[in-house]
Amino acid sequence: RTSREYEFYSEGPKGKILKLVQFQLNSYNGFSFYNLVLGDYNRETGYLDALSVTNNGDAEKVLSTVAAIVIDFTNYFEDAIIYTEGSTSARTRRYQIGINKFLDEIEKIFNVYGRIDETWAPFKKNINYNGFFVTRKIKDFIILQEPEAIYMTTPEKVDINDPNRIMIDRRIVELPDFSNDPFTLRKNAMAIASIEKYGFPEELLKKPR
């Protein structure tokens, strides 16, 4: 499989809604990158749906969970280059708001780049971006200890062999293969088209291939 998937539930007034996060592996001009996709799992069709508006009252928690997933993913793929943009401009704006809110915590762990029109630059608050690249800054294995209010916390360096370490609740399950999912194919095509048109941030081009 050329992708990795995570699942979690949005819980609110509309009940429990299963959400999926995909990391789709691609290659362009000698560089490998992962396209991050967030969507709802439609049990009736068996496909992802990222155009529906959930309005389940937990948007901040959902974005924080996605951030925790990116941390977990890069614990194992520490050199991963991750790209994401919303399926609509409104969703891209929502991602930006989430990054803005937790930027102090995020920047301790990741390098974040935003695209303005055709230009990539390090992410800054109060600027409207069209897409995002994320790379891991801290190479140590990071454990998140979930606080009461938000999921993002200050990273803590730990010995992964310590039997007393605190782990976020995670389990490995066999999810359906979404490689031929219509939305997956469309989002992947969008990502590749963006990279072909706008390229990578200069800082990423300096990394060893």
Say if residues 151 and 68 touch (Cβ distance below 8 Å).
Answer: yes
Scanning 32-88, the segments in alpha helix (DSSP H) are 59-76
Q: What is the mean pLDDT of residues 39-53?
A: 76
**pLDDT over threshold 60, residue 25:** yes
Q: What is the pLDDT of residue 148?
A: 39
Residue entry with tokens 């969507």: 39
Say if residues 30 and 209 touch (Cβ distance below 8 Å).
Answer: yes
123-176 residue pLDDT tens: 999 899 999 999 999 888 887 655 433 433 444 444 545 544 434 455 555 666
Q: What is the mean pLDDT of residues 42-54?
A: 74
Say if residues 189 and 196 touch (Cβ distance below 8 Å).
Answer: no
